[in-house]
Amino acid sequence: MHNKIAITFIKEYFINLQNSIILELENFTETKFLRDKWERPKGGGGITSIFENGKIIEKAGVNFSHIFGDNLPTSALANRVEFKNLPFNALGTSIVIHPFNPFVPIIHMNVRFFSLGRNSEKWWFGGGIDLTPSYIYVEDAHYFHNTCKDKLNKFGEAYYPKFKKECDDYFYLKHRSEPRGIGGIFFDNFHEKSFEYSFDFIKAVGEIFLPAYVPILKKRKDNKFSETNKLFQLYRRSRYVEFNLIYDRGTLFGLESNGRTESILMSMPPVARWIYNWSPEKNSQEEKTLNLLRDQSWV
């Protein structure tokens, strides 16, 4: 791979993706994102875009970052000593949206590129998109998963089932024996056929976000809700916090490698609530949705 040219292309694509998503969200919600450009003292930086306190979106972060250096941070090595003292590049665009209405799901999307060596001799893509509803609408879950599946099927029918399973395995709260949400797709170490093929694949993943999420957001954003519904949303968000701070590799890698804390933790919900040993009332909407959460087949 021609390192500098390839990274320039990827960077341009990731920033365009960030901008096109911000633009669409701004148009639709009639709001303006705050943009913070930042630099990493040891190399690289990013553009953090945040929106808070809206009527439709309670908090959203749409971030781009590109960090690089002469040595991979120790925390990223995971005992793979063969990667020690190698120059690295890590680029990515990440989105998390915490909607205001409890019937609209949280969305998370990430596409990333990682390379090692002076000329990026070793490289891979990673990414994914997944949905975390407080209340599950089966039809929305099907719609979301089918949108992912249709997009990946253009590259072969093996991808969706494989990356759906990786997503279910990854977004799992072991300490609660509970999935974070209804999943989607997740993959890492993606390096197939050629650089062009792999890059096209990641572009396709980046294109899932708008068609997979915005129709759900539009459909559910004006749903009437009670105080109970809102409190249940805040309660469910506590699980999102637990997952991201205890398990999420991206979050922990970012914090350990002296990333920009406020950009990394844009994923935190605006408000979350913990209640001791809470369980839903029999036959309530909340009980039904928690039972559905364990059903991991949505196509």
Which residues are tagged catalytic? 108
Residues forming a β-bridge with 45: 39, 66
List helix spans (H) across 67-194. Answer: 74-77, 138-153, 159-170
From candidates 15, 76, 214, 252, binder to a second copy by CB under 8 A: 252
Rounded CA Rg of the chain: 19
Eight-state DSSP code of residue 238: H
Nearer CB in complex with a second copy: 7/62: 62
Residue 36 in contact with a second copy, rule: CB under 8 A: yes
By CB under 8 A, residue 169 contacts a second copy: no
Which residues, including other chains, have CB under 8 Å from residue 265's CB and lie 6 or more apart?
Answer: 251
- Report the SS3 class of residue 80: coil
> 261 or 291: whose CB is closer to a second copy?
261
For a second copy, the binding residue among 204, 210, 265, 290 (CB under 8 A) is 265
In whole angstroms, the minimum distance from the beta carbon of 277 to a second copy comes to 4
| 21: enclosing H helix or E strand | helix 3-29
**77 touching a second copy, by CB under 8 A:** no
Region binding a second copy by CB under 8 A among candidate stretches 15-23, 84-92, 111-119, 168-176: 168-176
Q: Near a second copy by CB under 8 A, which window of 2-10, 101-109, 163-171, 275-283? A: 275-283
Q: Which of 23, 158, 275, 299 binds a second copy (CB under 8 A)?
A: 275
In sequence order, what are the residues at sequence separation of 6 or more whose Cβ sits closer than 8 angstroms to the Cβ of residue 260? 38, 40, 46, 48, 65
Separation of alpha carbons 272 and 265, rounded Å:
14
The CB-of-2 to a second copy minimum distance in angstroms stands at 36
Out of 86, 204, 210, 241, the only residue in the binding site for a second copy (CB under 8 A) is: 241
Tokens matching residue 292: 């559905």
Tokens for 27? 């148009």
Joined tokens for residue 275: 């209640």
Residues that bind a second copy (CB under 8 A): 34, 36, 50, 52, 59, 61, 174-176, 234, 238, 241-242, 245-246, 252, 255, 261-262, 264-266, 268-277
